[in-house]
Structure 1
Amino acid sequence: MRGQGSGFIIDRTGIILTNSHVVNGADKVTITLKDGRTFQGHVRGADEVTDLAVVKIDNGSSDLPVAPLGDSDRVRVGDWAIAVGNPLGLDNTVTLGIVSTLHRSSSQVGIPDKRVDFIQTDAAINPGNSGGPLLNDRGEVIGINTAIRADAMGIGFAIPINKAKTVEAQLVKGETVAHPYLGVQMTTLTPELAKENNEDPNSAFLIPETNGVIVLRVLPNTPAATAGIRRGDVITQVDAQAVTTAEQLQNLVENSRVGQTLQLKVRRGNQTQQLAIRTAELHSDS
């Protein structure tokens, strides 16, 4: 297969960060720098769940240009955002905008199979920009541009650089990044939404009128199925911590360990139950 994208060097030995979908299925990677130098490289590791990948330049020289990494936790709405890449095949393009929103979940963006809270910006990000750096006004990398919505007009998304920092070392070693999961499809529930459902004579079942996360589907042969979670259950706590949104629950699971037992407080009809669920490792086909 043949494709094109962007990336940036983070180490003088020739370590490059990019998107997983940029190098997906590639058997050969050619890297062209802004000064015209061309190198061959190979993919050291890729993680589809976070859409991150590491490419290593073969026999990299010591004078490779390195992009300084910033701290995406310090980014604020309204900060300058500069996207660099090769959009639509146009080499070395720079676009300027601001940070529009932080913590835009992958489910909100329309890619529920990913686990990323994106930086949203109005800097133009188009196909070919994917994998390139999003910079702050000091030239530090704060995110990795991701052209994930073909219909996005004036909206761009970037993976926070701190997320990449947490998996980069594993990807360099060729290790698989483990992601715990439960095995449910879910959405945020509010008392208002529950009341609207309960007043509908065509509703399949009544829902507790509370804040929490309602289970829409339990996937077979998953930790949730084994633990006895049912469709219509409303999860209100995880390990005694209140949960009010699906994104919050997803983050709690993501930040747990594979094989860790979580204690869930569940509303089922008029009853409240405590269920223990042991997370398993998420695979791309899960």
Structure 2
Amino acid sequence: MQKNVFCATLLFSILLIVPAFAEVSSVDPVVLAAQKQRIDVIKAVSPSVVAIFGAEGAGGGSGVLVTPDGYALTNFHVVSGAGNFMKCGLNDGKLYDAVIVSIDPTGDVALIKLLGRTDFPVAKLGNSDKVQVGDWAYAMGNPFLLATDFQPTITYGIVSGVHRYQYPAGTFLEYTDCIQVDSSINPGNSGGPLFNDRGELIGINGRGSFEKRGRVNSGAGYAISINQIKHFWDHLKSGRIVDHASLGATVTTSLDSTIDVAEILEESDAYRKGLRLGDEIVSFAGRPIRSVNQFKNILGIYPAGWTLPLVYRRDEKKNTIYVRLQALHTTAELQEQAGQKKKPPAKPARPGEEKPPQIPNPHAKPEPAPPEQYKHLYVPKTGFTNYYFNQQQQDRLLKALNSTSNFSDLKGTWTLTGKQGDGSEFTLTLADKGVGFESGNDIFLQSLETGNYVDEPPGTGGLLAALHHFRLLLSGQSERFTDFYYLGSERLDGKNELVDVLVATQTGTISRWYFNKADLSLRGFDFYLTENSEVCSIRFEQFQTLNGQKFPGELDVLYGNRPVMKLKIERLKLEPSDTLKK
């Protein structure tokens, strides 16, 4: 009897199991292929995901490696309390030292550099402009700092929205043109990567939710678009505190639903180029403008200082201008966000009154000592996140400049002679005491002894003062500038050519130097008598060898967007003396 019961039970169990096996074996191959693809994507991208910890182990977040030599992206709010050096773990189980490079407080982005290798695994960059609602999205990182073994947590969902705008209500952060996903983004995920289903990096995870809802996942996560970060990439490598752009104007929706200029600063480049109140904004940076939010989204993904095309309509006529964008924030505001706010001076003691003793804060924690072998990689300087990396970029460009010509021992008077575009002869004299220009009966002089720079010749925007900057840079006298630094990269004149940019200032004057990104050749420079003055643009053409030095054969001079002079250089005389031709 018991044997019969056992056999019946066994038969019943087999009958239950067989359909289950049949069901498994009949799973649609498409489903199995999709599952395999997900597993393959996760396996391929996980090595590039970074778990970030503060130097003392408190707090942290996530990041993603983007270059083999260790540059990694994360959020500003992740590194803001982590110190100048931090610890980073990868899914190989190893812990690496890392140093802060640069921060973008407005865009909530930071760049760090992992140390100790030159062959780090990296993420492949995608194109966030191609992301569509409904695309699959992988959010990866270290939520709640759970990944003590540095294996990233993966959440999988869809893209819920694109080109989202999150205004900075009560905060400094402004998320523009961001990607909305329903993939879970929780505390600790911040700074981690957002991948598409091809394993391409399309964004950097930001806050899981905003403002009143706190940071608890609510099904609406936001990622900073990778295309925005591409625009800022070289700015982030500069070691600076990076700022976003402002047009110097605000827009509003009119009664007929057009997007019109509501306010505009007269000192803005947009105003100088002709934009006025009431003009309709048709397109900006090559993208059509159909709403105020759309305009803010596009403007917010560009760094301060870029030149971009803007099309506006007035009286049924379209006009195209190229506008240099100004900074969104003041230097003081950026420094405050970076913890570099200057403390007000203490009140002086009254006569006969002793200065009160300074009582140390018993709860203040000293900055952890940096790793001995890497401490040279951090150089503090006001206005910079890490000046060391700016120095590296300066050296790279100046080395390229000196490789074609070396004027370092030629700091005396320079005399340039040649013909203008109309055939008239000219002589340019550049010396320590002044810069002179002579053509026919016309003689113009810029004295350098008073520090008062003027528009000479008139209507050029200060060509002679600009050529003083030119001589200082080429002769290796950058130390004579009040400030000198690497800015980042941009499109030359708002067109296609990508250039690296050096900035020099002296007694209120500013020059921006443009080096071709591909071959590092010097393409020209822009000069401003003051921060808000019209630009004097000088572009170099047809380099030639003069007096043993490679030198521009032509100087094309523009004032604003208007050509004013073409100087064809025929002879270059370099003298050791410091005499100015009278």
Q: Aligned match of 2:305 in 258, 266, 277?
A: 258
Cα 1:13–1:162, aligned 2, differ >3 Å: closer, same or farther? same
1:41 to 95, 98, 109: 98
What is the match of residue 171 of structure 1?
236
Distance in 2 (CA, whole Å) between partners of 1:260 and 1:142 is 25
Larger relative helix fraction: 2
Q: Which residue of 1 aligns with 2:185?
A: 125
Distance change >3 Å, CA 214–CA 112, structure 1 → 2: farther
Cα deviation for residue 243 of structure 1 reads 4.4
Looking at structure 1, the residues matched to 261 and 241 of structure 2 have their Cα atoms a distance apart, in angstroms, of 31
SS in 2 for 1:5: strand
**In structure 2, which of residues 278, 281, 295 is the aligned counterpart of residue 237 of structure 1?**
281
Task: Normalising by structure 2, report the TM-score.
Answer: 0.38
Contact 2:231–2:303 (8 Å) recurs in 1: no
* Map 1:102-181 → 2, pairs under 5 A: 102-107=162-167, 113-114=173-174, 116-149=176-209, 151=213, 153-181=218-246
Change (3 A) 1:148 1:156: closer
Name the SS for the 1:258 alignment partner. Answer: coil
Change (3 A) 1:127 1:183: farther
Deviations 1:230-255 (A, max 9, x none): 9xx65523689984422333325865
Percent of residue pairs identical: 36
2:408 corresponding residue in structure 1 = none
User: More deviation in 258-267 or 246-255?
Assistant: 258-267
1:211 aligns with 2:258: yes
Q: TM-score, normalised by structure 1?
A: 0.71
The 1:43–1:103 alpha-carbon spacing in structure 2 relative to 1, beyond 3 Å, is: same
Gaps of 5+ in 2: 1-53, 335-582
Is 2:113 the partner of 1:67? no
In the TM superposition, residue 108 of structure 1 has moved relative to its aligned partner by 9.5
The 1:266/1:29 distance shift into structure 2, 3 A limit, reads farther
Aligned counterparts, 1:82-97, within 5 A: 82-91=138-147, 92-97=152-157
Preserved CA contact (<8 Å) 1:213 1:246: no
Report deviation, 1:263. 8.5
CA contact (8 A) 1:97 1:122 kept: yes
Q: Cα distance 1:103–1:111, how it changes in 2: closer, same or farther (>3 A)? A: farther
Shift of residue 58 of structure 1?
2.3
In the alignment, is the contact (CA less than 8 A) between 1:183 and 1:223 conserved in 2?
Answer: yes
Say which structure, 1 or 2, has more relative contact order (CA 8 Å, 6+ apart).
Answer: 1
The whole-number CA distance in structure 2 between the counterparts of 1:118 and 1:110 is 19
Deviation at 1:178, TM superposition (A): 4.9
Unpaired segments ≥5 residues, structure 1: 192-208, 268-273
Tell me the CA shift for residue 52 of structure 1.
Answer: 1.5
How many positions carry a matched residue from both structures? 257
Give the counterpart letter for 1:114 in structure 2.
E
SS of the residue corresponding to residue 125 of structure 2 reads coil
Contact 2:143-2:153 at 8 Å conserved across structures: yes
1:57 & 1:172 partners in 2: Cα distance?
13
Structure ID, larger Rg: 2
